[in-house]
Amino acid sequence: MQLVQLPATFGRPPSRTECEGMSNQKPNSVSKPLVEIIKVILTNGTYPEILKIAKIIPIHKTGDKKLWDNYKPISVLHVLNKIC
C-alpha cells in the first residue's frame, strides 16, 4: 500500500477566493484536461489510484459523543468520481 500526500484543500468546499479565481478562467482551460483524463480512463479501462482515495469523516449519530459506536463514517471522494 502506498501512502499519498493529499492537498490541504482535499475534502472541503473551495473558498470564495478560489471560486472567484476559477470563474476568471476560460471554460476550455478546465474542460480540455478533464476530457483527456476521461478518455484515458475509458481507453485503458483503468481508474487512477489517486482518485480512489477517500477522506473519511466521522459524523455523530446519537448518544454519547465519547463512544465510537455512535458515529457513522462518511467518505469524501474527489470531484472527478462524480463525473466518471
What is the pLDDT at residue 72?
93
Whether residue 41 is predicted with pLDDT greater than 70 in this model: the reply is yes
What is the pLDDT at residue 36?
83
Whether residue 8 is predicted with pLDDT greater than 80 in this model: the reply is no
**DSSP letter for each residue of 23-70:** HTS-HHHHHHHHHHHHHHHHHHT---GGGG--EEEEEE-SS-TT-GGG
Mean pLDDT for the stretch of residues 54-68: 90
**pTM exceeding the 0.75 threshold for the entire prediction:** no
What is the pLDDT at residue 7?
58
Of 8-12, 59-63, 72-76, give the lowest mean pLDDT range: 8-12
